[in-house]
Structure 1
Amino acid sequence: MNLPNAPGVPPCPAWEHGVLRTERLELTPLRVEHAEEMAGVLADPALYGFTGGTPDSADALRERYRRLVAGSPDPLTVWHNRVLRLRDGGRLVGTVQATVTASGSAAEVAWVVGVPWQGRGLATEAAREWIAWLTGRGARTIIAHIHPGHRASAAVAAACGLAPTGERQDGEIRWRLSASSDQASSTYHCRTDLPRT
Structure 2
Amino acid sequence: MAGTPERIRLVPLAVSDAEEMVEVLSGADLYTFIGGSAPSLEELRVRYTRQAAGSPDSGQEWHNWIIRTAGGEAVGYVQATITDGGRRAEIAWVVGSRQQGQGYASEAAQALVTWLDGRGVATIEAHIHPRHAASAAVARRVGLLPTERFDDGERLWRRPGDTP
TM-score (norm 1): 0.79
In structure 1, the partner of 2:143 is 161
In structure 2, the partner of 1:73 is 56
Distance across 2 between alignment mates of 1:179 and 1:83: 29
Distance across 2 between alignment mates of 1:122 and 1:69: 22
Measured on the aligned residues, the alpha-carbon RMSD in Å equals 1.2
Note the residue ranges of structure 2 that are not aligned, 5 or more in a row: none
In structure 2, the partner of 1:99 is 81
In structure 1, the partner of 2:19 is 36
Q: Percent identity?
A: 53
Cα offsets for 1:16-37 (capped at 9, x unmatched): xxx3231310000000000010
CA change 1:21–1:160 in 2 (3 A) is closer
Give the number of equivalent residue pairs. 161
Equivalent position SS for 2:159: strand
Equivalent position SS for 2:86: coil
* 2:37 aligned residue (54, 58, 82): 54
* 4+ aligned runs moved over 2 Å, structure 1: none
Note the residue ranges of structure 1 that are not aligned, 5 or more in a row: 1-18, 181-197
Distance across 2 between alignment mates of 1:102 and 1:122: 29
In structure 2, the partner of 1:128 is 110
- Confirm whether residue 111 of structure 1 aligns to residue 99 of structure 2: no
Q: Following TM superposition, by how much is the alpha carbon of 1:133 offset from its aligned partner in structure 2, in angstroms? A: 0.5
Distance across 2 between alignment mates of 1:24 and 1:152: 20
Equivalent position SS for 1:20: coil
Counterpart of 2:98, as a letter, is P
Q: Which structure has the bigger radius of gyration?
A: 1
